[in-house]
Amino acid sequence: MITLAIELSTDCGSLALLNDDQVQCERTWREDRLHRQQVFAEIERGLSEGWLDPARVDVFAVGVGPGSFSGLRMAISVVRAMAMPGNRPVYAVASAAALAWEIMLETGRNEVVVVGDARRDEWWAGRFLSGDKWPRQEGDWTVANEAHLQDNPGAPGAVWVTSDWDRIGGKMNPEGAVLIRERRVPQARYVGLVAGARFRAGIQTEELVPVYLHPAVSTPPVY
């Protein structure tokens, strides 16, 4: 099964082409937060280099957050447009679940808490437990102040990881947890791995809408 995955929940965009669990090709780049155009350049490059043929893709996978609202909307729009010819399936995966799966494979731990900056002195968190082929989210997303979250770090030995290390890393000290002390971002290859495994198992896709846990932030126009 050929899967094309796109992940744009942070400023580090990526896309990956997988044949079942094998990554055939992968591209990563730094996104422009205001314009989000690089994904189109990377798709065009894949077409011109010959490794990307949308007509041969069986499933289109996309990370739906939490993360950048504009990036998530862009990613969802792109995969929907590419899947439209032939009415092929689009499979949504929480970007945080993809990051949790990467950390589980890397560390061998069976519980990962993905944390992000929800702004206004609050953090968001999602708790994931490992399965055979994909992570399982335990409970719903949590948005709370940092003290509340760090007083509830999960089971002893749970791993904490964030894509917002530059903003909240200095405040992270969950007692009893293993802290990844660097910025880690979701990657398309893990979106594709999780989506492909769940799709083959007949698990229904997550809702194809952005998971957005930040308050609205406006950017003043530049004249």
pLDDT digits (tens, 9 = 90+) for 18-72: 999 999 999 999 976 556 789 999 999 999 999 999 999 999 999 999 999 899 9
Specify the domain boundaries for CATH 3.30.420.40 within the chain. 2-94+186-200, 96-179
Question: According to the model, what pLDDT value does residue 32 have?
Answer: 67
Question: According to the model, what pLDDT value does residue 35 have?
Answer: 61
Cβ-based neighbours of 89, under 8 Å, separated by 6 or more: 58, 59, 60, 83, 199, 205
Cβ-based neighbours of 184, under 8 Å, separated by 6 or more: 99, 102, 103, 161, 162, 163, 165
| pLDDT under 50: residue ranges of the chain | 217-223
On whether the 2-94+186-200 domain is CATH 3.30.420.40, my answer is yes
DSSP letters of 7-38? Answer: E-SSSEEEEEEEETTEEEEEEEEE--TTT--H
Q: Rounded to whole angstroms, how far apart are CA atoms 165 and 123? A: 12
DSSP-derived pairing of the beta strands 12-19 and 22-30: antiparallel
Tell me the one-letter amino acid at 10. Answer: T
Question: According to the model, what pLDDT value does residue 185 have?
Answer: 98
Give the global pTM. Answer: 0.94
Handedness of CA 34, 54, 20, 138 (dihedral sign): positive
For domain 96-179, give the CATH number. 3.30.420.40
Q: Rounded to whole angstroms, how far apart are CA atoms 117 and 212? A: 11
